[in-house]
Chain A
Amino acid sequence: MSIDTQPTSCPPPRVQLSGITKRYPGTLANDRIELTLEPGEIRALLGENGAGKSTLMKIIYGVTAPDEGEIRWNGRPVVIRDPAQARRLGIGMVFQHFSLFETLTVAENIALALGPEAHPRRLVSRIREVSQRYGMPLEPDRLVHSLSIGERQRVEIVRCLMQDIQLLILDEPTSVLTPQEAEDLFVTLRQLAADGCSILFISHKLGEVRALCSTATVLRAGCVAGHCIPAQCSDLELARLMVGDAEGLEGSYPKAHGGAVFLNVSQLSWRNPDPFGTSLVDLSLEVRAGEIMGIAGVAGNGQDELLALLAGEIRLPPQESARICIASEPVAHLSPEARRRCGQAFVPAERLGHGAVPDMSLADNALLTGFQQGLLQHGLIKHDKVMAFANDIIRRFSVKTPDAQAIASSLSGGNLQKFILGREILQQPKLLIAAHPTWGVDVGAAAAIHRALIGLREAGAAILVISEDLDELFQICDRIAALSNGRLTTPVEVAHTHPIEVGRWMAGQFDISHSAA
C-alpha cells in the first residue's frame, strides 16, 4: 500500500473532479460534476440508477472520456485515457457486473490484473493469505465459471486488494454478502483507509453507507444534488436527496398468514454433477396462497440449484415428480413451459441473459414468457397485441424507456427488473418465484418492486422470494427460512424472529434435525 508521505501539513486531495460533463445521444449523463476525495477518505456515491454514477466511475477509471472537465490526481491534472493508465496511477475498481474470465482460474484472473511479474502459481499462497486476512476465503485453483456470484465478487475485491492502490472504487460490493461478511469487509476497508487509500463506495443500502462512509455525495439526473454526512441524515432525508420526492419510500407492510398450501416441496434432494456446485439435501418447504415466503442465504449455498429445480430448468425423473407439487399436482418432472401452464411465473437472478435477452427489444422480451396471454394465433405472432402488452407493462410499472422497441440491454438494471417483474405479474400468476428481485436496484425502483409483490400477494398469489438482502426479506416476507450449504432451515414467521438469528442460520448455525422436520 503506498502511503502519501508529504511533509506539508495539508496534502493535495487524492482526486479532484471539476466540471465533469459527459453527453450521450439523448441524455446528459454527467452535468458539471464536482467531487473531491481526500487521502484516507471513505465517501459514498449515492443516487438512483441512471443518475450518472456509473458514467462518473467509468470516467475516473478511464473507460470513457469526459466531454468537458478536469481531473486532478494528487494535485496534478491528468487525462486518464484507459483503465491501464488508471491502474498505473493506483486506481482500483470492483465492478457490479463482474469483469472476470470464466475459463481461467481464480489465481490466473488475479495474475492477469497484477501485471507481467505476477505468475499464477507463485500467487497462490498470497491469494490465500490476503483472502483469509480479509475474511473472504477463496480457493485459488478453482475455475471462475464454477463460482457463485458471491464468490466471484470476492475474487474481484481480493484482486483489487492485491494491487498497490490509492483509490478504490466499489460498485455495490455488499449486495452479495451476509451482514457479518459485509461488516468484515468494512473492517478491511477502514484499515485500507487508515493506510491512506481513498475509497469511493457506491451502495443502495443506506444503513451500510451510514456505518462505513464519513461523507456522501448524492447524484440526481446527472448533477450533484448535494453533499452530506451520512451519520447525521435519516434514511428518508437521504432518499429524498436521491429521488427528489420521497413518496412511498417508507416501506412497511402488514404481514399476512396465507391460505391453502400452493407450492409444496417435500424432502427434495439433488446431487449436483458439478463437483464445485452445491447439492441440495432433504429440502422441504411450503408456500401458501396469499403469502410471501422468503429464503435468505449467501450466494453459492444452493440458491441457483433450488431455483433451477423450481423453474424446471433442472427436471427430476418421473418417479420423483411429487418432490415438487403445485396445487397438489406433481410437477418436478415438467418443463418450464408446462409449469407456467400450472400458473407459475419465474423471475431469475440474472436479468440480462436469463430474465431477458439483451439484444432483443422490450416487446420481443415481453413475448418470451407472455406468449400465453393471447399474443399468438395459429403459431403466428400478433405484433399489435405484443406491443400493447409491452406498453402495458411499461406504463403500469413505470419503466423508464423511450418505447417498447428499446433493446433490453439499454435499460438500467432497476428499470429492466421492473419490466421483467411486470411482465410476470401482469400474467396474473398463482405462484411467483423471484430471485434477488431488487439486486442492484435503486431505492425508488426497489420500493416499486416491493409494492408490486405485496399487491400480487393481496391478489392471492403464492410468492417465493430468494434474496441475499435480509432487510428486504424482513420488510416484505411473511415467513422466512435460510439456505446454508444446500440445507434449508424450518420456515418461521418473520414476526417471531430477528435478522441476527437468521444471519446465524445463513452461516450454517442451525440444528439439522430441526431443519429436516
Chain B
Amino acid sequence: MDIDLLTNVFYAMVRTGTPLLLVALGEMVCEKSGVLNLGQEGMMLFGAVIGFMVAFSTGHLWLGVLLAMLAGILLSLLFALVAVHLNANQVACGLALTIFGVGLSSFVGASWVGKPLEGFSPIAIPLLSQIPGIGKMLFAQDALVYLSFVLFALVAWIVLRSRIGLIIQAVGENPNAASAMGLSVLRVRTLAVMFGGAMAGLAGGYLSLAYTPMWAENMTAGRGWIALALVVFASWRVFRVLLGAYLFGLASILHLVAQGIGVTLPANLMAMLPYVATIVVLVLLSRDTIRTRLYAPVSLGQPWKAGH
C-alpha cells in the first residue's frame, strides 16, 4: 500500500468517524450523569434537517450549525422534562424520542430533499497538512472536524480533570449521596441531557452541512444507535470513545480501499463490516469486568426523586 493511499485512508477515517465521535461524546456525558437517552438518532436527524434548512435559506453555514445544535437541545429538553423531571421510564422515552425525531425530520424536510448546498470545504493548514500519512488527516479537514477535535479535548478535560466531571460522575453513581452533599441532581442531569442533545444536533449538522451537504430522509443511517453501543463498549471512557469512533470510520471506508487494491467482497458483507468490527474490538477491550464496573455509572437508567 503506498503512502498516498494511506494518507487518504486516514483522512477519510476521521471524516467518517467524526459524526459518531460527536454524538457518542454527548451520550457519554449524559450517561455518566445516570441518564440513558436512546433518542440520539432522532436528535441527530432533527439537527441535520434544521441545520440544512437554515443554511440553505440564509446562506450562512455557521448559523445552520448553531440552529442544528439548538434543535438537538430542544428535543433533549423534551426528553429531560419527561424522563428526568417527571421520572418516566428512560428507555421508553428515548425510543419515543427517536421515533418522534425520525418522523418530525421527514415531515419538516419533505420539500428539501435533494437540494444542492455548498457545504463546509476543507481548510488545509500550510506545511502541517503536508506531513506524510497523518498530515491530511489532522490538518486538511473542514472546520467542523477541527471543532470536533476541540470538543473532544474539552470533554476529555471535563471528564478526567475538572470538578464538573467529578460532579457528573458522582450524580451518576449515587444520586442520593450527591443530593445529600448539596448537589442538584436534577439540574446536573438536565444539563448533561442538554449537552447530549447539542452534540447530537451538531453531529446531524455535520452530516447535512459538511460530510454530504444535502438533506435525505434517515441520512444518519443508524449512527445514533452505533454511538449508544460505542459508549457502553468503550466503558464510558473518553479515549476509547475516540478510538471506537475512528475505528468505525476506518471500517466504513475499507470497501473503497479494497476496491482500490483490487479485492472484491460482497457488498452486503462490506456494509456490515463497520458495525461488526467496532463492536468486536470494543468487546475485547471491555473484558476486564472489574475495571468496567469501576467506570460504569451505577444509577444509569434509574429515575431519581428528591427527598426519600
A positions within 8 Å CB-CB of B: 61, 63-65, 82-88, 93, 95, 98-104, 108, 111-113, 116, 119-120, 143, 145
- A87 close to B166 (CB less than 8 A): no
- A145 close to B181 (CB less than 8 A): no
Q: Contacting B295 at CB < 8 Å: which of A63, A83, A103?
A: A103
A152 to chain B, nearest CB (A): 12
A507 to chain B, nearest CB (A): 31
- A82 close to B182 (CB less than 8 A): yes
How far, in whole Å, are A189 and B307 apart by their CA atoms in the complex? 29
Residues of B within 8 A of A87 (CB): 181-182
Residues of B within 8 A of A95 (CB): 180
Instruction: With CB as the reference atom, state the residue of chain A lying closest to B182.
Output: A84
- B180 close to A112 (CB less than 8 A): no
A173 to chain B, nearest CB (A): 16
- B180 close to A99 (CB less than 8 A): yes
- Among B34-42, B171-179, B194-202, the stretch that binds chain A is B171-179
- A108 close to B166 (CB less than 8 A): yes
Q: Contacting B307 at CB < 8 Å: which of A64, A99, A108?
A: A64
How far, in whole Å, are A112 and B173 apart by their CA atoms in the complex? 13
- A99 close to B169 (CB less than 8 A): no
Q: B78 near A: Cβ within 8 Å?
A: no
- A101 close to B169 (CB less than 8 A): yes
Residues of B within 8 A of A64 (CB): 307-308
- B179 close to A100 (CB less than 8 A): no
Residues of B within 8 A of A86 (CB): 182
How far, in whole Å, are A93 and B177 apart by their CA atoms in the complex? 12
A169 to chain B, nearest CB (A): 12
Give the 6 A-B residue pairs with the shortest CB-CB distance, closest first. Answer: A84-B182, A99-B177, A101-B170, A83-B182, A99-B180, A83-B180
Contacts A/B (CB < 8 Å), 30 sampled: A61-B180, A63-B180, A64-B307, A65-B307, A82-B182, A83-B180, A83-B181, A83-B182, A84-B181, A84-B183, A85-B182, A88-B182, A95-B180, A99-B174, A99-B176, A99-B177, A100-B177, A101-B169, A101-B177, A102-B173, A102-B174, A103-B173, A104-B169, A108-B166, A111-B163, A111-B166, A112-B166, A116-B163, A120-B166, A143-B294
- B294 close to A113 (CB less than 8 A): no
Given A116-B163, A119-B163, A143-B294, A104–B170 Cβ distance below 8 Å? yes
Q: B167 near A: Cβ within 8 Å?
A: yes
Most buried by B among A99, A100, A112, A143: A112
Interface digits, B27-54 against A, CB 8 Å rule (1 contact, 0 not)?
0000000000000000000000000000
B164 to chain A, nearest CB (A): 10
- B294 close to A145 (CB less than 8 A): yes
Instruction: With CB as the reference atom, state the residue of chain B lying closest to A82.
Output: B182
Residues of B within 8 A of A101 (CB): 169-170, 173-174, 177-178
How far, in whole Å, are A87 and B178 apart by their CA atoms in the complex? 13
Instruction: With CB as the reference atom, state the residue of chain A lying closest to B167.
Output: A112
Residues of A within 8 A of B184 (CB): 84
B32 to chain A, nearest CB (A): 10
How far, in whole Å, are A85 and B177 apart by their CA atoms in the complex? 15
Instruction: With CB as the reference atom, state the residue of chain B lying closest to A84.
Output: B182
Residues of A within 8 A of B295 (CB): 103
Q: Contacting A112 at CB < 8 Å: which of B179, B181, B298, B308?
A: B181
Instruction: With CB as the reference atom, state the residue of chain B lying closest to A119.
Output: B163
Most buried by B among A83, A88, A98, A111: A83
Residues of A within 8 A of B298 (CB): 102-103
Instruction: With CB as the reference atom, state the residue of chain B lying closest to A99.
Output: B177
A203 to chain B, nearest CB (A): 21
What 20 additional pairs, Cβ within 8 angstroms, besides A86-B182, A100-B174?
A61-B180, A63-B307, A84-B184, A87-B182, A99-B177, A99-B180, A101-B170, A101-B173, A101-B178, A102-B174, A103-B169, A103-B173, A103-B298, A104-B170, A111-B163, A112-B163, A112-B166, A112-B167, A120-B166, A143-B294
